[in-house]
Structure 1
Amino acid sequence: MLDERPNIPSLQNVALQTSAEALAFPQGAITMVRCANCSFVWNASFDPAKISYDETYNNDVTSSPYYLAHLDAMADRVITSVPEDADIHYVEIGCGEGDFLSLVHQRAGGRMKSATGFDPSFTGEDKLPDGAKVYRNFFSPDNTDQIPAEANVVCSRHTIEHVADVQNFATALAAALAPGRTLFIETPDANWILEHTAFQDFFYEHCSIYTPESIRFLLAQQGLECDVEPVYDGQYMWVSARMPETPVQAKPAELSGQLGLNYLENKRQMMAEWTTYFEGRRAIAPVALWGGASKGVTFSLLFNTAEDAPIDCVIDLNVAKQGCFMPISGTMIVSPETAKSRGVGTVIIMNPNYEDEIRQQIQDMGWTAEVRVLNG
């Protein structure tokens, strides 16, 4: 077992209007375990009935130039997978509000002739580009008739890690393929989490976390061959899969358990070090986290309790979250300007990918806060 935590929020990316709502938010538990054969990591305590995405769900991080550049790069990978002299007929499984679908359309320069999305929570018809249609349902093998015959590229970004029934979802992805179609999947890399002791990346919504070995094995069981590349500075995997003429053989790779053991020991040490650090720093000035998404929610929850709250607030550039509260811990989310006005003297950056832009913003504000980076 890699991690075990009771009483965690069933959803991370929610911003509650009052501290009372935050403290009373529905809870779940995680028991993160790792397969000794294929290295797949999953939450053995996951109950899908506890998940309910609604209008309070907000995982928008597009205020970050780094993340926007990442989205552009991934959209370009989708586009260049189709020969330049061919039209693009795009399919996205788990398209959310269609933001990435629209980005592909924008960057394709008129080459996208159709786009088909699948997401049960979709509400953004007014934002769809011409030629796009989104079905408000989970995609399954029974929905293949909703995919246009001319479709030549299928994408599923940050969806597979939310799905507990991995075999059925893999079957659905394979059903979406046909000769000449490419499937792209983007998802977190469990190896990066373990290697960097990123314990804040284990949370309830992500019930299924893959490694390069386990995603290859899962797709090979469907007869697919795939390539896996690290993206987003190694935190994510970009998987490109296809249906070969001769189906590949699924062979799990037997792996050492040392990575998991190292993670457990490193986590114990890091938790102790952060506890000591907070005791010293908050005596000097208030401490804030920068990043009110999943990493910040988990990190805040690990250290802020009803009896003791060494973290004064969490900074986030998403204006929809500012003035709201994080689930369960009740930590307030504020703008950088508000944090500075509260006298925050220490800023802990939750995602090392955003370090340069955050340091620059702090400098531009004339703010002399000490900056630490989690997993940097």
Structure 2
Amino acid sequence: MSGNTVRSVTACRVCGSERWQKVLSFGNVPLANAFLEAGDTEALAREQAYPLEVISCRECRLLSLTAVVDPQVLYRTYSYVTSDSETMARHMRTVVRLCGEQVELAEGDLVVELGSNTGEQLMAFREAGARVLGVDPARNLAEIAEQRGVPTVPEYFDSACAESIVAEHGRASVILGRHVFAHIDDVADVLAGVHALLAPDGLFTIEVPYAVDLLDGLAFDTVYHEHLSYFLISTLDTLFARHGLRTVDVERLPVHGGSVLVSAGPADGPHPTGERVRELMAHERAAGFLSDARYEDFAARVQKTCADLSHLVRDLAADGHRIAGYGASAKGTTLLNICGLGLGELEFCTDTTPQKQGRLTPGTHLPVLAPGDVGEQPDYYLLLAWNYAEEIMRKESAFLEAGGGFIVPVPEPSVRTRAVSRR
């Protein structure tokens, strides 16, 4: 592991404190989206794993990884593609509606998305009449977005990038970052860029995994190296205030195991802090999310769930049942590796993403198959894409009717079949 590839976190990226509580340690784990070419023995031999540990800042309660992997390693070629599921399409329309309500978007107003991937979200804004611009460092994905008619800057967003966008496109009414802000280490420079690009009456809107849902729902497998930070509203409010912004509104959303859509505007701007912001911050304090005990309890529950899931899968395999993974998700990389589940227990993993098909899962080296290439179905699928559980159950009703079952890993391992769900 090269010292140029990973650095250790010492000071909190939100408040600068060095007073940390240790929460979780999963040991060394491969990068969540570093899928391997099947048959590439050299790549298998040099596969890297990095520390995957979570700490909590005792001052502002940022949940942070202890190790920051070089973004050039993580993102320049990227295999995660925005889901085309109906669940996600519906969610993207909701984001457009909420942003439009908060800013009163007019025809031709500029919307800039950070981490815009293949442009799916911006296409929804364009349909609503906005001018759109994506910013994404993954050149393979930026190229796809351009082919779809979504102009995309193939770079990391920072203050210099923001200045160049202003010069060419003007200021933005909305700067959006859906599940990208938690990936950023130097949040100060990004927020400086936001100040440079945002219109005086505009809003910076981010969607991030909500630390309350992470802890309450035991979504520990959403911890991987791309997710450097896990936020409370209280933590984001501290961050925004330190950088001349004011928290304006928040919406809780079910995607990705529980997320929040949080908007902030210039501190001297026209948008006041809404009641939902104050309510959630009060709940975080009253429910103990600002104290050590809540995180100690979380760690104990994670340990038990990992042990229970490992036993459940191994017992089914020992009884002669065929098991495969469903959805070669990033969270699946964490789950399989920390629970020690691989080719001894699972035969393969199925996924609809072309960039992953024909490759091997990181660390566990399960072959990733397109759904049409599966052939004879296994007896059980371990549902690695559990955040789409209900949609998947409807889609795979024939599999369930034929006697198949899904192993749902969190918050407590359970088996779902047509007739019955059992823990």
Structure 2 residue corresponding to 1:333, chosen from 350, 354, 368: 368
Amino acid at match of 1:292: A
Which one has the bigger helix percentage? Answer: 2
Calculate the aligned-residue CA RMSD, in Å: 2.9
Q: What pairs with 1:91-170 in structure 2 (closer than 5 Å)?
A: 91-106=112-127, 108=128, 111-112=129-130, 114-122=131-139, 123-124=142-143, 126-129=146-149, 133-145=151-163, 146-147=165-166, 148-170=169-191
Q: What pairs with 1:1-376 in structure 2 (closer than 5 Å)?
A: 1-9=22-30, 11-18=31-38, 20=41, 21-22=43-44, 24-48=46-70, 51-55=73-77, 57-83=78-104, 86-106=107-127, 108=128, 111-112=129-130, 114-122=131-139, 123-124=142-143, 126-129=146-149, 133-145=151-163, 146-147=165-166, 148-226=169-247, 227-233=249-255, 235-245=258-268, 255-282=290-317, 283-304=319-340, 309-336=344-371, 338-339=373-374, 341=376, 343-365=377-399, 366-375=401-410
In the TM superposition, residue 196 of structure 1 has moved relative to its aligned partner by: 1.9
Q: Note closer, same or farther for the CA distance 1:352–1:47 as it changes in structure 2 (3 Å cut).
A: closer
Q: Note closer, same or farther for the CA distance 1:16–1:87 as it changes in structure 2 (3 Å cut).
A: same
In the TM superposition, residue 61 of structure 1 has moved relative to its aligned partner by: 4.8
In the TM superposition, residue 75 of structure 1 has moved relative to its aligned partner by: 2.6
* Distance (Å, rounded) in 2 between the aligned partners of 1:77 and 1:155: 12
- Is the 1:315–1:339 Cα contact (8 Å) retained in structure 2? yes
In the TM superposition, residue 225 of structure 1 has moved relative to its aligned partner by: 1.5
Deviates more, 1:228-237 or 1:153-162: 228-237
Amino acid at match of 1:156: G
* Distance (Å, rounded) in 1 between the aligned partners of 2:81 and 2:71: 24
- Is the 1:288–1:339 Cα contact (8 Å) retained in structure 2? no
| TM-score of the aligned structures, taking structure 2 as reference length | 0.77
Deviates more, 1:21-30 or 1:272-281: 21-30
* Distance (Å, rounded) in 1 between the aligned partners of 2:345 and 2:102: 48
* Distance (Å, rounded) in 2 between the aligned partners of 1:58 and 1:25: 16
Give structure 1 stretches of 5+ with no counterpart. none
Q: Note closer, same or farther for the CA distance 1:84–1:320 as it changes in structure 2 (3 Å cut).
A: closer
- Is the 1:162–1:207 Cα contact (8 Å) retained in structure 2? yes
Q: Structure 1 vs Structure 2: percent identity of aligned residues?
A: 20
SS of the residue 2:213 aligns to: helix
What residue is the counterpart of 2:278 in the other structure? none
Q: Note closer, same or farther for the CA distance 1:102–1:273 as it changes in structure 2 (3 Å cut).
A: same
Deviates more, 1:361-370 or 1:68-77: 361-370
Aligned residues: 365
Deviates more, 1:196-205 or 1:134-143: 134-143
Give structure 2 stretches of 5+ with no counterpart. 1-21, 274-280, 412-423
- Is the 2:183–2:227 Cα contact (8 Å) retained in structure 1? yes
Deviates more, 1:261-270 or 1:117-126: 117-126
- Is the 1:22–1:329 Cα contact (8 Å) retained in structure 2? no
SS of the residue 1:217 aligns to: helix
| TM-score of the aligned structures, taking structure 1 as reference length | 0.86
Q: Note closer, same or farther for the CA distance 1:203–1:22 as it changes in structure 2 (3 Å cut).
A: farther
* Distance (Å, rounded) in 1 between the aligned partners of 2:231 and 2:349: 29
SS of the residue 1:51 aligns to: helix
* Distance (Å, rounded) in 2 between the aligned partners of 1:322 and 1:150: 40
- Is the 2:82–2:120 Cα contact (8 Å) retained in structure 1? no
* Distance (Å, rounded) in 1 between the aligned partners of 2:27 and 2:387: 29
Amino acid at match of 1:53: Y
Amino acid at match of 1:323: G
* Distance (Å, rounded) in 2 between the aligned partners of 1:327 and 1:310: 16
In the TM superposition, residue 150 of structure 1 has moved relative to its aligned partner by: 4.9
* Distance (Å, rounded) in 2 between the aligned partners of 1:159 and 1:30: 19
1:173-207 per-residue CA deviation (whole Å, 9 max, x = no partner) reads 33332311111111112222222222211111112
Q: Note closer, same or farther for the CA distance 1:313–1:2 as it changes in structure 2 (3 Å cut).
A: farther
- Is the 1:186–1:239 Cα contact (8 Å) retained in structure 2? yes
In the TM superposition, residue 34 of structure 1 has moved relative to its aligned partner by: 0.7
